[in-house]
Each structure stands twice: as C-alpha cells, then as structure tokens.
Structure 1
C-alpha cells in the first residue's frame, strides 16, 4: 500500500543548530551564576618571640687522620694505644666543655679503622657531636 506514487521516501534529519544554541545559552548561564571559591586553607598565626637568639659557641676539636694512620688533635700529634687512651686526650682537649663539636679531617687514603677509632674514642669520652670535614672538587 503505497499512497505516494513516484516519490521516494525522505529520511528525517536532526537539525543540530538549535541544540547548539540551547547548550550555548545554558553554558553562559552556568558561567554567570557559578561562584568560584577557593578551598579553605589552614590559617595559622604563629607566635612571636621577643628575646634575642643566644649564640651558642661550642668548642670545636679538630682531629686530623693521615693516610698512614697518624692522628693530630688541634694540630698537635697524638699518640695512643687504645680508644680509651684517645678518649682521655679528647677530654683534655675539650678543656671541661661538656659537649664539644668534634671535626674529623681524615685523609682520603686513610683507613676506615682509623676513622672508627676516632669515633669510638668520642663515644667513650661521652661526646656525640661528630662531623666530617670535606673539601670541594675545585680546591
């Protein structure tokens, strides 16, 4: 039953232009009515101190370890037989300072045991502040 003779069937098509217009209006509406808020940040008021910072001058003990295992405390050669004897020399060099800074200047070719001897003597003497001196590659 074809009621229309001679005409072919016309496919319906969807016109997207009005759809795009409506979406554009909705987008403009959303942009105009949206409020942009920052995330809540944690606001902290830090306390202030009125006192001046005290400069703490701790005594430094320079310990040099040569490549052949010789030791020097503050540029004076130190001879000892055990870490306990070396600890006595460290206490003498500290001159009563309870916690001096011990700076170990070890040669790059010094044995690991030589440096460990210094660390053990510092532990025996009760000194916990140890640091190692290095030099930059340019020097």
Structure 2
C-alpha cells in the first residue's frame, strides 16, 4: 500500500508587517525631529545665598514688561528684537562690558522674553548679570 506523504509546511515568520511598522516609525521620527541647532546660554548667573548689596553708581538695567517689551535704563526700545536690544546695550556700555547688568521682569512676562534678554546680554559681552527677584512675604503665624 502506498501512502501519500503529507507536505510539510515550513513554519516561517512573516516579517512584512514588522518592516512596515518600523518604516512608519522611521518616517515619523524624521518628520518630527527638529533640525535647528539650539543656542546655549553662556552667562554666569549669580548665587542667591548672599545678602543684597548696594549697586555701584553705574549700572545698566533691562526692564521686561508683561507684553515682552524691553526698556534699557527706563528708555523703551522700538521693537522686541534681540538685535535691537544688543545694539542698545553696546551703545550704552560704550565698550565697558564689566558694567553690572540687571534684568528686571514683570511677574507676568514670558520666560522667553527674559531668556532673550539674557541671550542679548551674552551677545553684547556682559559678564556680570543680575536678575532681580522679590522676597516672598513671610507667612502669618497663628497665635
């Protein structure tokens, strides 16, 4: 008697769906990646554990209002561009970048506006940068 041999099915793994998913992930990461190089700030920030000292006679103050506008020593700038701020700082400092620079920002000002002011100070060459803060009010103690 002649028996028919059953054809043996070779157990294989179909990786086509896996390749499709990997390809879609590669496309997603390529599209969502930012290709711009972020600038790093190289400003030496002050420590907060020292007592407040009196400011020297000559200092420069950048004020940031809640809309993100800038003023240098009380004189408002014509726009909010970083280059305008850098030019104003260089003109006021007249090459003396050792002059202390203070940044005072409104509590409602955006963080980006303050970072732009810090970046402009770094571009202008200032090395002594202070950021003004307000001391928290002491909590009332129950009696």
Q: Distance in 2 between matches of 1:111 and 1:81?
A: 13
**Deviation for aligned residue 1:125:** 0.6
Instruction: Report the Cα distance in structure 2 between the residues aligned to 1:74 and 1:95, rounded to whole angstroms.
Output: 14
Moved over 6 A (4+): none
Q: Quickly say closer, same or farther: Cα 1:69–1:135, change in 2 above 3 A.
A: same
Task: Report what 1:72 is aligned to.
Answer: 71
Which protein is bigger by CA-based radius of gyration?
1
TM-score norm. by structure 2 comes to 0.51
Q: Does 2:62 align with 1:63?
A: yes
2:64–2:70 contact (8 Å) kept in structure 1: yes
Matching of residues 37-48 of structure 1 within 5 Å: none
Count how many residue pairs are aligned between Structure 1 and Structure 2. 83
**Structure 1 residue 85: deviation in Å?**
2.4
SS in 2 for 1:134: coil
Deviations 1:9-34 (A, max 9, x none): xxxxxxxxxxxxxxxxxxxxxxxxxx
1:96, CA displacement in angstroms?
Answer: 3.4
Tell me the TM-score normalized by structure 1: 0.53
- For CA contacts below 8 A with separation 6 or more, give which structure has more relative contact order: 2
Stretches of structure 1 lacking an aligned partner (at least 5 in a row): 1-56
**Structure 2 residue ranges without an equivalent (≥5):** 1-55, 138-143
8 Å CA contact retained: 1:65, 1:72: yes
Secondary structure of the residue aligned to 1:99 is coil
Separation (CA, whole Å) in 2 of partners of 1:118 and 1:58: 22
How far apart in 2 are the matches of 1:64 and 1:84?
A: 16
